[in-house]
Chain A
Amino acid sequence: MTFMSSLFARYADLVVRRKFLLSFLSLIAGFAVIAGIPNLTLDTDGRVFMDDQNPDKIMLDRFEQEYAKDDTLSIAIAPADGEVFTPKTLAVIESLTEDAWNLPYVRLVSSVTRFQNTYADGDIGLVVEDLVIDPFNVTQEQADKAKATALSRIELDRSLINRDASVTQISVIFRLPGLDLTREIPEIMEELIPLIEDNRAKHPDIDFYYTGSVALGHQFTVASQDDGATLTPAMLVAMLAVVGFLLRTVTGVLSVTIVAVLSALISLGSLGWAYIPLNSATAIAPLMIITLAVASTVHMLSSARQTMALTNDRREWARKAIADHGLAITIACLTTAIGFLSLNFSISPPFRQLGNMVAAGMLGIWVYTLTLLPTLIMILPSKQKANTAGIDSVMQRFGEFVIRNQRRLLLGIPVVIIAFSAGISSIKLEDDFLRYFDERYEMRQATDYFENNLGGLNVLEYALETGVESGINNVDYLAKVEAFTSFLRAQPEVSHVRSISDIVKQLNMNMNGDDPSFYRLPQSDEEVSQYLFLYELSLGYGMDLTDQINIDRSAIRITAYVPNTTTASMIALDGRIQDWFQENAPELTSPVTGQTHVYTMISARDVPAMLQGTLLALVFISFIILLVLRDVKLGIISLVPNLIPAAMAFGLWGYSVGTVTLAVSIVVAMTLGIVVDDTVHFMLKYAEAKKRGETAENAVRYAFKSVGMALTVTSLGLVLGFIILGMSGFAVNRDLARLTAITLSFALFVDFLFLPPLLIWMDKMKNKQMPKKAVAAAVALAVILPLGLMSAPAMASAEKGLAIAQEQDKRDLGWGDFSVVGRMVLKNKAGKESVREFKTMTFEESDPALGDKSVIIFTRPRDVRGTSLLTHSNIEPEDDNQWLFLPALKRVKRISSSNRTGKFVSSEFSYEDLGSEEVDDNTYVWLEDLPCPGAESLTCAKVEITPKNKKSGYSKRIAFIDLDEYRNYQVDYFNRRGDLEKTLTFSDYRQYLGQYWRAHAMDMKNIQTGKSTTLEWDEYAFQSGLSVETFEPKSLPKLSRGK
């Protein structure tokens, strides 16, 4: 401590001597960073909250590639007379539909007038035509007829029309090129908004509402701009008021403003240099920094204010401020920065960026508080103020109160703490992305109206796969699809289901003269195929079934719409749906996906991730405090006021509001750093006094006197600042700010009312001679007990891990041979792709002493066509036997195969990754069970796999194996240094011969380089009678020619 103090004392002298130089240097450095601001752009895509690794997003991307990426706009139309089917309203709908077709990037506009109605006409056969032909000249009679039809059709129920035909919607689907969302969405909205306003003006007796993901994207922009315009000035004013109140000097306020604004700009500049666009979450970072800057600078200024009373030597004000508080300020900035940096553990990119931005800003705050601010103190004019004795005496009296009532507080406060914290159990994660914005926004009102009056906007998507090309025509399959559709409709949460089975049934009825008894599935596959073909042929412009059926017609997409549902009930609903699959159609089991689902899961994913980050931050921060206080006991006590406020805040939130968004996962980490500041200041002063020889109570008095006021003011200032932020219209920011404000309030509460009594009590305990043996026993117990508890599970984990690996191996035995065509797409960091195609054949050796044999024959690129690699796997630790065939020379060459770590054809897969494995090649430890990444409805065992072979390129692998079928869902590879190097995800599992599961898509992403390789497999052909003689070097020339 003395070393530190002398360090800061010397630095203080330096600043006094070289104030201009230091300020100049710091300003230059600052401007260099600020110069990055012009690079900033705004990213308004809601999807920015999902990072590339997010398994839900990966699955969603794949789903969208198969079917469609729906960027939607839903325009609800509600005529005042409650009747949609009147000539007037129908004309308006048609006119708006036509105008909607002219919006940029539009792919399809669906409205009730253009609904493709099908019916039987004796002469022609099947007629496919608009529900309302010529809406501009329709008669009431025709409208009534259309109404009757519309209400009878389940495809429209609570989707295009509600049950009493009083509200309808125009659904617009866009295909955004996705090249520059900051322009594409505004382009759309620029044309849409005037269009809606126009219609509202022309038809005052009809209500128009618009919502949807495109509107949501626009909403992000609007909300960010709103926040920027209203919150920023409000915040600045409030901050300055706080500072002005304490310091009573204009120049003080000015100095604080300068430091705060510079630091905020630095945080923006750092983002600009990183070429990362701003988004709704990071847009508030500058505001946070301003708040934090105020808190930091206040300490310096309040000390100067105190010194002002003693001397009018400005240099002494600055020097003493730095010498006395420089350490505390440094520690505070450091711990705050650590707290924010721990946000890098979040799975959501905006939060990671937020953490880094604020950390950069903290750096600015630290530098300027110790260089520029003292300079300003020294050069700016300010009248000597009366001493602060008045204010300080309030604090003193408060300190006396605490000391007097220490026993009561020591017993009573924990009760309060527990009472509040218990509310945590009532907290529910609620991430409805359509409701991320609150009621003051038109879009939110529209969303609420829409879901209350028409139908759901949130969706659950399922893809029912047959695994066979054109398999959807199979009537047994369709029967199951129909059963599934009915099951979905029966669920109370579901307002509407979109399913091809409805169309097929309708067509069957039409093709049999509209006989209602034929409203069921056809009898034969051929009929299904023909009807769908005829239907698709006759559909209107821009309409087809490609967004419901995949390209090779092997799978159908089913969409369930759920209005006004909470995250919890959607998860429960999916749980029931997965149960239905298990009981009725296990081969069609589909994990849930869809835009809604990704958001639903986002908190669930981020909370555990951030838990790690928070714990790590806690460890670091505690360590730093320990270093500074040089006292283990004090260090441990300091944890108390650091952790309790967050627990109480969440508890209070649980009782009152109950639901919380994604923000919850990062609040603790964020507030940790800030809350620690108060504790540090208080405890440093306490420790200082104790070292001087004071009693515990006097030390507490000293602490209250010297920093009490500053702590109160800074806490109030912070709370005020975050309350203002809490008025944001964006739910994530709002929850974040409010929770932080509550946490900080509780922090002050705990720091003042609980910490001092605790300190005094600990001190008394120390003085009582605790029997050394008891202490030793207590320590021993504390250490051994956890160890003992840990080791028993450790052994069980190893056995369990081995059992899982053995079961996985056992389930994949007896397949004989298989061949499959594979395609490898290599992507470098810039996204440039190259493709390799090959055919591979594998032969299962039944003799356990021998490993499997396999051949890979390359087909693309064309210049390597025919190059083949034959491998005879050997049991570890023997190397495999490998032969390479070079078609140009017709040479079969045996090659060295000890290169396990080399990359296979420069992809992210190494030879080791692709080689076959035996159970005995590794040791296994089961870690935990958790939802499978990419398939939450399944439970995966997380197993740590350590290779026995020292030549392996990996120190370990972590595999996620589902406990139903023992399939790998994800494997994380850790290099020899123990860092995560790459992640392999498996998807599109299909079962062959009723037993063997094969993933049809594998994606290997190198976390460190950003490169990725996707491996896609076509249909596997099992047991096609390949003989073991085929897998000999002699056969290579022939195999290399073969298909």
Chain B
Amino acid sequence: MIVTMLTKRPPLLLVLGAVASCLYGGSVAAEDNTASIFDDLTVERYGSIKATVDYFPRDAAYQDQDDVMAISEVMPVMIITGDSAEMVIEPRVVTPKHGHGFVDLKDGFITTTWGEMDLLVGATTEFWGKNEAANLVDIINTKDYTMGLQSGEKQGMPMVRLGQAMGPGYLDLYVMPIFIENRYAGAQSRMRPNLPYRPGVSRYQIGTDPDDVATAIRYSGYSGDIDYGISAFQGITRDPGVIIDGGNLLPLYHEITQYGVDLQWTTGETIYKTEMIQRYDQLNQSGIAEDYTAGIAGFEHTLYGVMDSNGDLAVFGEYAKDSRGDDAASGLQNDLFFGGILSMNDVDDTQYRVIIGYDLDEASRSITAEYSRRLTTGVTLEASVYHPDQMSKDTHFFSFDRDTRLHTAIKYSW
């Protein structure tokens, strides 16, 4: 499949070749992925390849939808470390079954210390949050929804980030001058809205310019058993509204402001976590700008050495609420999640995960069961089943009703 994808898309080959020659060309003698170019610089190169196939056994709900979605990702990494600075380049080269292949620069930055501050310039991905079912405060990066709206992969966001320890915690300042849009899949994709997106086309609300600079600030740290984070963001929303245009959906980007808090309390085997946000000027499901509050709270409890084995079982339960109620575009207006993660702690890092989500308003449910392990050195397997139940009743996710999915991914790292 990868071979046919490559041969069908000559431009992709070129891109791959360019990337490959940049990173692997040259006559630098290498042993075990590291080499010394000059006396004070070390280069480290490694990477991974991942092939994913999603099979949808049920008939598609909408025209043009395919039963199979597939993607291959090549993620080479190059890290150049000097005395005072470090450069990390990690592009993600994606070749999907449907649509054009592309390269996303997940990490392409230089970081250094400037006085007492840590400075990062370039594209990178950040994670903010504490919960498992959803991370409301996590707002910095946009997503690549090539494999469907439930499978968003973060895309690198260009920024200048300054960080400094302050008091008991740490203060981070972000300035994001370039906006990278979400990437949506087209009509052939599953797990999409009833009207397909037209890939590559988007709209900006009047008054919103993609060149607008987004800013964010976050203060995070820990104290005893409590880990906390307080954040504020101002910029283009990562959850755009939609415009219908000729049978397609187009994302409508607009400016928002968000304040967020995330907290975790770790006591022995039980962890309590919560995230809360207040967002202004976000377009809701009905297309009207609404200020709202949303939160998610839950617990995670770990049982060690279950069933006389070395495995650990982490059971968790989380509840999400959104003040917009039915108008919440995220669909997390009154939802309950619970599940378990059984880590076998064996040589192959075998893990089983089950998550069940209930929408308490609409009575729709979904279950995801996942299995992952290492097959051999450097090769891992991930397989899962997602099944939506009663989803046709759900005002937000009814389009997924027939999208029962069997997912397999194999990743090779070196």
Give A contacts to B, CB under 8 Å.
826, 828, 834, 860-865, 879, 881, 889-892, 894-896, 898-899, 901-903, 905-906, 1029, 1032-1034, 1038, 1041-1043
Contacts and interface: CB of A to CB of B under 8 A. Distances in A.
16 contacts: A862-B378, A863-B374, A890-B126, A890-B127, A891-B129, A894-B227, A895-B266, A896-B270, A896-B271, A896-B302, A898-B268, A899-B304, A899-B312, A901-B304, A903-B310, A1032-B170
A901 B311 CA distance: 11
B42 A1043 contact: yes
Interface stretch (B14-22, B342-350, B394-402): B342-350
A1043 B42 CA distance: 10
B248 interface: no
A1034 B46 contact: no
B345 A863 contact: no
A1041 B377 contact: no
B99 to A, nearest CB: 23
B170 A863 contact: no
Interface in B142-183: 163, 165, 170
B86 A1043 contact: no
Contacts of A862: 46, 48, 377-378, 413-414
B285 interface: no
Contact of B310 (A879, A891, A902): A902
Nearest to A872: B222
B413 A1041 contact: no
A903 B305 CA distance: 9
Contacts of B222: 881, 894, 1033
B79 A1041 contact: yes
Contacts of A1032: 170
The 5 closest A-B pairs by CB, nearest first: A862-B413, A862-B378, A891-B127, A899-B304, A863-B413
B270 A1041 contact: no
B361 to A, nearest CB: 30
B35 to A, nearest CB: 12
A608 B266 CA distance: 50
B387 interface: no
Contacts of A881: 222, 225, 266
Contacts of B134: none
B268 A896 contact: yes
A39 B24 CA distance: 56
Given A861-B377, A901-B305, A1038 B266 contact: no
A834 B268 contact: no
Interface string B206-248: 0000000000000010100101000000000000000000000
A863 B378 contact: yes
B347 A834 contact: yes
A861 B271 contact: no
A862 B50 CA distance: 13
Interface in B368-414: 374, 377-380, 411, 413-414
Contacts of B79: 1041
Query: Mostly helix, strand, loop or mixed at chain B's interface?
Result: strand
A1041 B345 CA distance: 24
Interface residues of B, number: 44
Given A896-B266, A896-B270, A902 B304 contact: yes
Nearest to B266: A894
B34 interface: yes
B345 A902 contact: yes
Given A899-B304, A906-B347, A861 B378 contact: yes
Nearest to B47: A862
Contacts of B413: 861-863, 865
Contact of B111 (A860, A1029, A1038, A1043): A1038
B257 interface: no
Given A865-B413, A1033-B222, A892 B127 contact: yes
Contacts of A861: 374, 377-378, 413
Interface in B96-135: 111, 125-127, 129
B345 A890 contact: no
B351 interface: no
Interface string B35-48: 00000001010101
B46 to A, nearest CB: 7
Query: Mostly helix, strand, loop or mixed at chain A's interface?
Result: mixed
A866 B285 CA distance: 40
Given A826-B347, A903-B310, A898 B269 contact: yes
B85 to A, nearest CB: 12
B81 interface: yes
Contacts of B305: 901-902
Best-buried of B46, B270, B271, B304 by chain A (most CB within 10 Å): B304
Nearest to A1041: B79
B127 A903 contact: no
Interface in B237-290: 264, 266, 268-271
Contact of A1043 (B44, B225, B302, B349): B44
B345 A903 contact: yes
Contacts of A865: 46, 413
A890 B125 contact: yes
B310 A1043 contact: no
A1035 to B, nearest CB: 9
A862 B346 CA distance: 16
Contacts of B165: 1029, 1034
B86 A1041 contact: yes
B88 interface: yes
A863 B379 contact: yes
Nearest to A899: B304
Given A860-B377, A862-B377, A896-B268, 16 more contacts: A828-B347, A834-B377, A862-B414, A863-B48, A865-B46, A879-B268, A881-B222, A896-B271, A898-B269, A899-B269, A899-B302, A902-B304, A905-B345, A906-B310, A1029-B165, A1043-B34
Contacts of B270: 896
Contacts of B126: 890
Nearest to B141: A890
Nearest to A910: B310
Nearest to B227: A894
B272 to A, nearest CB: 11
Contacts of B268: 879, 896, 898
A902 B268 CA distance: 14
A906 B111 contact: no
Best-buried of A861, A863, A865, A906 by chain B (most CB within 10 Å): A863
A259 B126 CA distance: 81
B156 to A, nearest CB: 11
A931 B304 CA distance: 39
B350 to A, nearest CB: 10
A862 B81 CA distance: 20
A891 B225 CA distance: 18
Nearest to B77: A1041
Best-buried of A879, A881, A902 by chain B (most CB within 10 Å): A902
A794 B160 CA distance: 67
Contacts of A901: 304-305
Contacts of B271: 894-896
Contact of B312 (A834, A890, A902): A902
Interface in B23-60: 34, 42, 44, 46, 48
B384 to A, nearest CB: 15
B199 to A, nearest CB: 25
A890 B222 CA distance: 18
A898 B176 CA distance: 40
Contacts of A892: 127
Nearest to A903: B310
A791 to B, nearest CB: 39
Contacts of A896: 266, 268-271, 302
Nearest to B42: A1043
Contacts of B411: 863
A895 B264 CA distance: 10
A869 to B, nearest CB: 14
B312 A1034 contact: no
A922 B44 CA distance: 44
A826 B111 CA distance: 37
